[in-house]
Amino acid sequence: MAKEKGRKLIAQNKKARHDYLIIDTYEAGLVLTGTEVKSLRQGRASLVDGFVQLTDHEAWLHNVHVPEYSQGTWTNHSARRKRKLLLHREEIDKLEAKSQETGHTIVPLALYFKDGRAKVEIALAKGKKEYDKRQTLREKQDRREAERAMSAVRRKQRA
């Protein structure tokens, strides 16, 4: 069987980018059971309520929903169990120091396979206020309108 190459996206947490200001991102490996890997290979997972908690100098991923494997037997995993993240010691220490600051949290952004191994992209984030969310939407809309206007001008120049 040929080894997988590249990045295959399983799940993405789009709401996290809306609700939080992303400060720094990290890529972490996951400790999974066999049925979890098979379920992920079917492309079934949800990061919506997920968060990372640091305890005893270890990173744990909580509330990420990986549904039970349909052909699994009594060895099947529980859907919302906590999963250990594999990070370098320096990264854990840095995350621990930064997450102690008020308003900072660690959230999962994406779950994917990279060269056949399950990875999760986590981010050190700070919660946005309601007016920050509106400001971000306004900037996005203004950028989109400016690009439309420039493309219309380019079309007229070509014609």
pLDDT tens for 55-91 read 999 999 998 888 777 666 666 666 677 889 999 999 9
What pLDDT is attached to residue 14?
86
What pLDDT is attached to residue 145?
92
- Specify the pTM: 0.75
What pLDDT is attached to residue 2?
55
What pLDDT is attached to residue 158?
84
What pLDDT is attached to residue 72?
62
Q: How many CA atoms lie within 13 A of 73 on its CB side?
A: 1
Q: Which helix (H) or strand (E) holds 13?
A: none
What pLDDT is attached to residue 86?
93
Query: The tokens of 119 are what?
Result: 């990875």
Asked if residues 129 and 74 have their Cβ atoms less than 8 Å apart, the reply is no
What pLDDT is attached to residue 78?
63
Intervals of the chain under pLDDT 50: none
What pLDDT is attached to residue 137?
85
Q: End-to-end distance of the chain based on CA atoms, in angstroms?
A: 53
Asked if residues 38 and 16 have their Cβ atoms less than 8 Å apart, the reply is no
Percent of the chain that is helix, strand, coil (3-state, to 5):
35, 35, 30
DSSP state of 118: E
Q: Which residue has the tokens 């549904």?
A: 67
Triad 23, 10, 129: Cα angle to 5° = 30
